[in-house]
Amino acid sequence: MTEEKENNGGSESPVFRMQKMYIKDFSFENPNAPEVYRLQNSEPKVDVNLKLNHRKLGDDHYEVSLQITAKIVDKGNDDKTMFIMEIEHAAAYLLKNIPEEHLEMVLGVDCPTLLFPFTRQIVSQMSVDGGFVPFLMEPINFMGLYQNSKKQKDDLAQQEN
């Protein structure tokens, strides 16, 4: 791809591109098989935890990863574990000529928003491959998470002053 120049003073246009997606870690545990398939008596209880990480890889290259842990239990059967799934799904991004004041938001909102649908599909397919109905995670509002995190940091900084 050729470098594009803007008309105002020759500065380069911002570049935002996912270059590669990959699974860094994946675990699927089905500790109560095969009994769990015939004992499902009620709507399962779902506990999902999400952690977002990012790091600089080199000039203009960053890695953003989603770490998701999901534990599904049959609450109608003494909270027997149906399955536990852990995934760290990541992507490498080229982020070039993005103003420094916007970089944190791009890494915390735009990158995971682009990655999450693929992560969701992997998790859904693995639950099916594990013998269960598709496990469809709810969409995530990364902008809301970013704004809450930023507000908490700002509140903490004000308390320290």
DSSP 34-84: THHHH---SPPEEEEEEEEEEEEEETTEEEEEEEEEEEEEETTTTTEEEEE
Cα 110-55-158 angle, rounded to 5 deg: 80
Q: State the amino acid at position 11 in one-letter form.
A: S
**Sequence ranges of the domains in the chain:** 15-150
Tell the residue number behind the tokens 């080199």, with chain if given.
58
Q: State the amino acid at position 4 in one-letter form.
A: E
- C-alpha dihedral (113, 72, 127, 86), degrees to nearest 10: 60
Residue 7: the pLDDT is 45
pLDDT tens-digit profile of 81-106? 999 999 999 999 999 999 999 999 99
In eight-state DSSP terms, residue 97 is S
The answer to whether 41 touches 77, Cβ cutoff 8 Å, is yes
Q: State the amino acid at position 42 in one-letter form.
A: S
CATH architecture of 15-150: Roll (3.10)
The answer to whether 5 touches 13, Cβ cutoff 8 Å, is yes
**What is the bridge-based pairing of β-strands 61-74 and 15-29?**
unpaired
pLDDT tens-digit profile of 31-87? 998 988 886 667 889 999 999 999 999 999 999 999 999 999 988 777 889 999 999
Residue 1: the pLDDT is 44
Q: How many CB atoms lie within 10 A of CB 140?
A: 18
pLDDT tens-digit profile of 115-155? 999 999 999 999 999 999 999 999 999 999 999 988 888 88
Residue 158: the pLDDT is 82
